[in-house]
Structure 1
């Protein structure tokens, strides 16, 4: 089920607020993300950099961690907001992280400072993905 306009507005507000709190002293590239879980709750995260570059965390990973810590296990929609004119889509690792908790048809909304710029399904961003169903029970 696609998110309603009011849910998209709430996702945007949560992601934008998280983006403002991002810790990005090295790249100065602040990213926020917000997840709408299956129960209708919103969980946000921001990127957190580290002087040892490979150990930083993406905004999407933070939002997923917040969702799991909040007791949810299914992403109904996710919105990612970044700066600049280009679309800031999830990196490859985050696409796989999202896949762990989302179906291929899950909406991935990409926003800039003024609102949503693009909408993809997870399958469009991560075609023929490997997910939990690929593993034996």
Structure 2
């Protein structure tokens, strides 16, 4: 009897273990399916795109004898390239603000700033359309006082 009894108890122990394992597997599967329905949208949905603004400061040194108008023209050319480069470099970039700062003998002043959105730039990629000019910089950048060259 002992022999049959120990066989019976070991078989009952194995049955209990297999039922416990099966129950654990079912619970794990139920939890995975249940929680999976909550987590699945997060796994399937793409991440939210975050838009942002690029701010670029560029320095232009005034050449000897260069007029203010030529300095502004150079500033516009540089600003246009910077705006285009910023939008080309990052598809998530929605806005760009480029400021061109002129330097004349150690005096640095802003010449122009270009705040433009990607959609505006696509419609009209003209720097003069979006640029804001700092006319006061004309007097700070020029080293000749008005009328100084008239003598």
Same fold (TM over 0.5): no
Structure having the larger proportion of residues in helix: 2
TM-score (norm 1): 0.33
State the structure with more CA Rg: 2
